[in-house]
């Protein structure tokens, strides 16, 4: 059996993927790893004064973390790893208890670009956060088979293999019991899982997740399979990078490493915790002013800043190779890809390309190129948004995989470790 280049990294990644069933859980898991490395939380409502070392800010499903070397001038530039914590899924509506024909069901809304068929006939749990009367939030996770979206039997739809079409309102509501709908039943079940009285809960952000555990697959276990690889592989790599550099960051370092893990990328990033909002700009600005910097220091810091926007990418699909660019066929375990799109769906230019490629070479990590087939619409990332908001050089990179946005995705077992090593070199030197 072939062993991954970094089995300990993958062991931690698998645990991270299993635990991080919602953006809020992803943030909590990343925070655990950062706190273990000595990072401390800052509150946005409190005054920030000059400091060095590792700090982080949490806002809902978003996390910003950074490490300031001792004595770093206020104009020290940043090396940013950008990522996002959310994944396409089914989310619980505000009035969830519904039903039909003697079945009790849960009303859900589709979040992001979901291949709907991948959510059929899977055992689903519920996770997210509950907001209480006092304004505090509590994470909750029902990690057991609670719901299921049943597919219609082929006997009742003989044309299903000619093309499945699902009504997004009527045919994606999961079942979870028999009988008449009971208002408040789901909330009672979820609140009990969090050890709360349902009367304490006034709001929620809940979503469904596949309860099948992540794992390794293939003849030599060369693939990693899980829900939410897009984009928790990158969030985990960013947290691992900052935890690593914090242990050996030289006091004379001429840059400040940053992890910016946003929420809501899958629906356009337009929120208070999304990349289109001012969160990153405000936090980085306060990192400058906390050390006595002014407008000139802020401008100098941004002028020297580079961002690596890390998001999952497409590996060439063996059954649909004609959908890919004929000259660029990224494969799993070939290392992270550098993503290019001249129409700025990705922010990579020659400068950013060279910066990441050089970092990967120094880290002795293989890397690949990705460009879309001209006849296929191209996806995007937080890269162009970050480049435009901050005016900083940005390169889009990511681990190549199959089944992107499916309820269960696949990537190479070596590539998460490769990405982390390349990002560590990217923020550390050059």
Residue among 92, 86, 94 at smallest CA distance from 112: 86
pLDDT at 45: 96
pLDDT at 252: 61
Q: How many CA atoms lie within 13 A of 101 on its CB side?
A: 3
Compute and round to an integer the Cα radius of gyration of the chain.
22
pLDDT at 3: 55
pLDDT at 350: 97
Q: How many CA atoms lie within 13 A of 258 on its CB side?
A: 26
Which of the residues in the chain have pLDDT under 50?
1-2
Q: Report yes or no: 339 and 368 within 8 Å, Cβ to Cβ.
A: no
Angstrom distance (rounded) from CA 389 to CA 277: 9
CA 166 to chain centre: 27
Angstrom distance (rounded) from CA 169 to CA 379: 25
DSSP state of 120: B
């Amino acid at each position: 059996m072939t062993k991954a280049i970094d089995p300990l990294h993958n062991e931690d990644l698998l645990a991270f993927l299993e635990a991080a069933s919602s953006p809020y859980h992803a943030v909590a898991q990343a925070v655990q790893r950062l706190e273990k490395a000595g990072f401390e939380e800052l509150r946005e409502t409190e005054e920030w004064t000059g400091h060095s070392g590792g700090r982080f800010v949490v806002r809902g499903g978003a996390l910003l973390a950074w490490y300031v070397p001792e004595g770093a001038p206020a104009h020290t530039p940043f090396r940013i790893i950008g990522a996002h914590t959310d994944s396409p899924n089914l989310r619980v509506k505000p009035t969830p208890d519904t039903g039909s024909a003697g079945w009790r069901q849960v009303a859900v809304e589709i979040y992001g670009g979901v291949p709907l068929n991948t959510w059929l006939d899977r055992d689903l749990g519920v996770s997210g956060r509950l907001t209480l009367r006092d304004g505090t939030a509590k994470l909750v996770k029902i990690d057991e088979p609670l719901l299921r979206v049943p597919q219609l039997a082929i006997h009742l739809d003989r044309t299903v293999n000619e093309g499945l079409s699902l009504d997004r309102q009527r045919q994606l509501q999961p079942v979870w019991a028999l009988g008449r709908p009971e208002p408040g039943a789901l909330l009672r079940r979820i609140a009990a899982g969090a050890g709360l009285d349902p009367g304490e809960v006034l709001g929620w952000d809940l979503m469904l997740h596949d309860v099948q555990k992540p794992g390794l697959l293939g003849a030599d276990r060369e693939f990693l399979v899980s829900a939410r690889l897009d984009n928790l592989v990158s969030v985990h790599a960013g947290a691992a990078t900052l935890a690593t550099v914090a242990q050996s960051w030289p006091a004379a370092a001429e840059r400040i490493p940053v992890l910016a893990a946003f929420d809501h990328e899958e629906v356009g990033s337009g929120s208070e915790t999304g990349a289109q909002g001012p969160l990153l700009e405000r936090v980085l600005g306060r990192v400058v002013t906390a050390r006595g910097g002014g407008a000139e220091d802020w401008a100098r810091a941004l002028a020297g800043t580079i961002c690596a926007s890390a998001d999952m990418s497409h590996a060439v699909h063996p059954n649909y190779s004609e959908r890919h660019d004929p000259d660029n066929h990224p494969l799993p375990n070939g290392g992270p890809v550098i993503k290019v799109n001249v129409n700025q769906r990705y922010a990579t230019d020659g400068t950013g390309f060279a910066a990441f490629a050089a970092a990967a070479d120094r880290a002795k990590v293989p890397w690949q190129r990705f460009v879309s087939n001209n006849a296929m619409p191209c996806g995007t990332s937080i890269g162009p948004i970050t480049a435009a908001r901050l005016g900083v050089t940005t390169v889009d990179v990511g681990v190549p995989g199959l089944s992107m946005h499916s309820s269960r995705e696949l990537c190479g077992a070596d590539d998460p470790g490769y990405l982390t090593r390349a990002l560590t070199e990217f923020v550390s030197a050059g």
